[in-house]
């Protein structure tokens, strides 16, 4: 009779929920949203959002962000996962509406990589003073 392997006293790191999942799904989703710009708003949620203009897309993104925050504060992990996916989707719709490409955001993240958050925020504050950002009415 074979002996069972001894259990390790060390905790193993959690494994990914699904093998093969990758952040590249964001790039694929952006392509889908981009391609849906010309779709019929009656059959495509992305087309319907985009047809309403950037201000409405931004409003919807904000609503989804608030729902995400509520679930995080409530400690509802599964709901937070779902709301986070909604936030990412609506952010991509906002990027398409505003004429941004994900590579522009990835480049900005790369530019910030290795920079202290405090130092990076200070440079943005100085830039905001020079450029006088506009608030939505």
Q: What is the pLDDT of residues 31-46, one digit of tens each?
A: 999 999 999 999 999 9
Backbone φ and ψ of 43, nearest 5°:
-120, -5
Q: What is the pLDDT of residues 52-96, one digit of tens each?
A: 999 999 999 999 999 999 999 999 999 999 999 999 999 999 999
- The answer to whether residue 1 is domain-embedded is no
Range of the domain at 108: 101-132
pTM of the model: 0.72
Judge contact between 50 and 37, C-beta under 8 A. Answer: yes
User: Which among 50, 16, 51, 18 is positioned nearest to 33, based on CA atoms?
Assistant: 50
Structure tokens at 113: 């990589």
Q: E strands within 14-95?
A: none
CATH number of the domain encompassing residue 93: 1.10.287.1080
Buried b (16+ CB within 10 A) or exposed e, 22-33: eeeebeebbeeb
**Do residues 120 and 91 share a domain?**
no
């Amino acid at each position: 009779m074979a002996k069972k392997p001894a259990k390790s006293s060390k905790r193993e790191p959690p494994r990914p929920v699904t093998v093969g999942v990758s952040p590249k799904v964001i790039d694929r989703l952006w392509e889908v949203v981009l391609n849906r710009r010309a779709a019929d708003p009656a059959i495509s949620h992305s087309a319907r959002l985009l047809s309403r203009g950037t201000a409405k897309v931004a409003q919807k993104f904000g609503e989804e962000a608030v729902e995400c925050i509520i679930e995080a504060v409530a400690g509802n992990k599964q709901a937070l996962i779902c709301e986070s996916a909604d936030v990412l989707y609506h952010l991509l719709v906002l990027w398409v509406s505003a004429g941004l490409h994900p590579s522009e955001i990835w480049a900005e993240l790369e530019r910030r990589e290795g920079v202290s958050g405090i130092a990076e925020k200070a440079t943005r504050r100085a830039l905001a003073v020079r450029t006088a950002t506009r608030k939505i009415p």
